[in-house]
Chains A and B, each alone.
Chain A
Amino acid sequence: MTSQHTIRRRMAATTPVVLALLLLVFVLAALALGDRAIARMAAETLIRVTMVVGFWIFVGNSGVVSFGHAAFGCIGAYVSAWLTLKPEMKATLLPGLPEMIAAADWHVLPAAVAGGAVAALVALVTGAAILRLSGIAASIATFAFLAMVNTIWANWTSVTGGTSSVVGLDRYVNPWVALGWAVAAILVATLHAAAASGLALRATREDEVAAAASGIDRFRHRLLAYTLSAFFCGAGGALIGHFIGVINPDGFYLSLTFLMLAMLVIGGVGSLSGAVVGVLALSIAVEALVRMEKGVSIGAATFALPPGSQEIILAVAMILILIFRPSGLMAGREVMLPARWVAGRASTET
């Protein structure tokens, strides 16, 4: 006899598997179409899944909106660039790097992990200050953090190259590499959400006062989630760098913040599946809009949206979702296998 509770637990455990399969199908479908542009779009989408799932670890569980996670992407991308670029290139491009980093010539995987780790470390230190604030004030402080990172990166020319881009990153990221990171992010997010700390954090999201009265240390759980989420945003930033091959501080500023936030809100902040579905839905929509901006020929007439309309349409869609379906496409539900598939034979008799 399988109890109701066990069935629920088993169903919850299928969520990451279902999501990973969904992404696998997405990659296979994109590759089957055989179009290079579509394969690139698939890789980009999966990088965004990594970042937005990382973003969700904090925002979804704590209920505090962060505007600073694009900055972690910036840090991750530059750390990975510092570690993987050829030493002779760094000597000319970035003369201000310390000796040890200037001589480094790492493999790409440890460099991406290091990118995430440095972002997580920065999150641990800044989060210790920012997360003492209450919800909305904390959100604004994360915005200040984003602006601070952008100011430093745009002006510290000898180390970051300033506003001129850092070029020549090894473009190793294909859909499979991105899929690996996205699945890792989904697994970690599931484990964190199911662990005691994730549960405690969601309790503070639902009712801060009651959670505090039950002995939950809001600050500690928020800080843990913030650090963890910064790791995947940093790693995702490193992937972006090695996907495009060129990085620039403004590539990790307001438009990336907006895109990540839009994906999370449209998919639904309340669940991990919402984060993943939001990325998939918006990436496909953005791809379609970008193609329409380039111009679509219908018969003899070429029809093109003016440049910039993509973001307007996304913003309007986001506002409409917030007005008419505030909990997003997934409305806080997770995708999971149906109960009778996981219940085992005994429970079918009841």
Chain B
Amino acid sequence: MSLQLLFDAMALGGIYAVAALGIALIFGVMRLVNFAHGQFIACAVFALIVPSADALAVMGLGALPAPVLIPLILLIGAGLAVAAEALVFRPMRNASPVALMVSSFALGVALQNLLLVLYGGRPKAVSLWAELGHPVRIAGASVPLLQLIVVAAVVVVLAGLALMLRKTRLGLEMRAAAEDFTMARMLGVRSNRVISAAFALSGGLAAVVALVLVAQTGVADVRMGGQIMLVAFIATVVGGMGSLSGAVAAGLGIGAASALLQAGLPAEARPFRDAFLYGGVILVLLFRPQGLFAPVGAKPRV
């Protein structure tokens, strides 16, 4: 039982961490709070199925074998994010963070309604990799195989990203840009390349979240990105805006807290789990308004 809870917490926390990382990456390089991230996730989900308003989804791309499907969906997510940057955020490069945030909110609304027009408003049943739902027995607990794969995938993604940020030139440039964008540009970091790369990575991460969500819930819903994006936002704020490791740690923590609340709350209070969660977050921020792992550069300098 407790091992099962541990896996629940790790799988949920892992998804939140990957989503939070997608938001923190973009915030880091261009101080943009990307309210369209949830819709990137939803778009990647709906890319799997053929556009129609029927309740039962017909798999389009989703029918492809996994080794082809996964890179393809990642590319679609990355492509969408890069296109959004080129069309919407590049013309606003010098705008204030508030204006950027509002325009990303508008972009999210546009994408969501585009999905509504193409696919209709009803949630659809999607069976992606249904055979992964079988439970596996580990040390007396039965854990769905999918959950193990999710945890493993999250570890691989996080490790890969950490390696990329530490060891490659692009990663170095990204970290430099996140630290001080103007200074990095003066030292020869090409801003368009770094920002496009950050958006591509962020879109790819959104696609990872999308695949995991579909495989876990078996539902494609136009609104599915919103809730997870909200948690991811909260994770980036709690982790300290702009801190990548902070976002990951806070995402894991919120996922764990959420799984624990789900298990520990009395049945009649369970529907209010999210309200408790958000209330708890506001409490944490009362004591550490700058977040738990605020980077040094986050303080405004005079």
CA distance A139 to B101 in the complex (A): 10
Instruction: State whether A144 and B106 are in contact (beta carbons under 8 Å apart), knowing that A129-B285, A132-B286 are contacts in the complex.
Output: no
B274 near A141 with CB under 8 A, answer no
The closest CB in chain B to the CB of A322 belongs to B103
A315 near B33 with CB under 8 A, answer no
- Min Cβ gap A132→B in Å is 5
Q: Report chain A residues within 8 Å CB of B102.
A: 65, 261, 265, 318, 322
Interface residues of B in 236-275 (CB under 8 A from A): 236-237, 241, 271-272, 274-275
Question: How many B residues touch A, CB cutoff 8 Å?
Answer: 44
In the assembled complex, B3 has its CB within 8 A of some CB on chain A: no
CA distance A34 to B108 in the complex (A): 38
In the assembled complex, A136 has its CB within 8 A of some CB on chain B: yes
Instruction: State whether A315 and B274 are in contact (beta carbons under 8 Å apart), knowing that A63-B98, A308-B117, A322-B103 are contacts in the complex.
Output: no
Q: Report chain A residues within 8 Å CB of B98.
A: 63-65, 135-136, 139
B234 near A140 with CB under 8 A, answer yes
Instruction: State whether A136 and B106 are in contact (beta carbons under 8 Å apart), knowing that A148-B274, A208-B300 are contacts in the complex.
Output: no
Return the CB mask of B61-98 against A: 1 if under 8 Å, else 0: 00000000000000000000000000010011001011
In the assembled complex, A209 has its CB within 8 A of some CB on chain B: yes
A137's partner among B237, B271, B279, B302 (CB-CB below 8 A) is B237
B33 near A139 with CB under 8 A, answer yes
Instruction: State whether A151 and B107 are in contact (beta carbons under 8 Å apart), knowing that A141-B285, A208-B300 are contacts in the complex.
Output: no
CA distance A316 to B230 in the complex (A): 23
In the assembled complex, A98 has its CB within 8 A of some CB on chain B: no
A137 near B291 with CB under 8 A, answer yes
Q: Report chain A residues within 8 Å CB of B226.
A: 254
B237 near A312 with CB under 8 A, answer no
Return the CB mask of B277-302 against A: 1 if under 8 Å, else 0: 01101110110011100000000101
A323 near B92 with CB under 8 A, answer yes
CA distance A143 to B106 in the complex (A): 15
A129's partner among B97, B103, B227, B282 (CB-CB below 8 A) is B282
- Min Cβ gap A261→B in Å is 6
In the assembled complex, B105 has its CB within 8 A of some CB on chain A: yes
Return the CB mask of A247-274 against B: 1 if under 8 Å, else 0: 0000000100010011001000000000
In the assembled complex, B16 has its CB within 8 A of some CB on chain A: no
What are 25 A-to-B residue pairs whose CB atoms are below 8 Å? A65-B98, A65-B102, A130-B282, A132-B286, A132-B289, A134-B300, A137-B285, A139-B33, A141-B281, A141-B285, A144-B281, A147-B278, A151-B272, A155-B271, A208-B300, A209-B302, A308-B113, A311-B109, A311-B110, A311-B113, A312-B110, A319-B88, A319-B103, A319-B107, A326-B95
8 tightest A-B contacts by CB?
A315-B110, A155-B271, A318-B106, A315-B106, A311-B113, A148-B278, A144-B278, A308-B116
User: Knowing that A129-B282, A132-B289, A262-B106 are A-B contacts, what are 20 other residue pairs whose CB atoms are under 8 Å apart, sorted by A's residue number?
Assistant: A65-B98, A65-B101, A126-B282, A132-B285, A134-B290, A137-B241, A137-B291, A140-B237, A145-B278, A145-B282, A147-B230, A147-B274, A148-B275, A151-B278, A258-B109, A312-B110, A312-B117, A315-B113, A322-B95, A323-B91
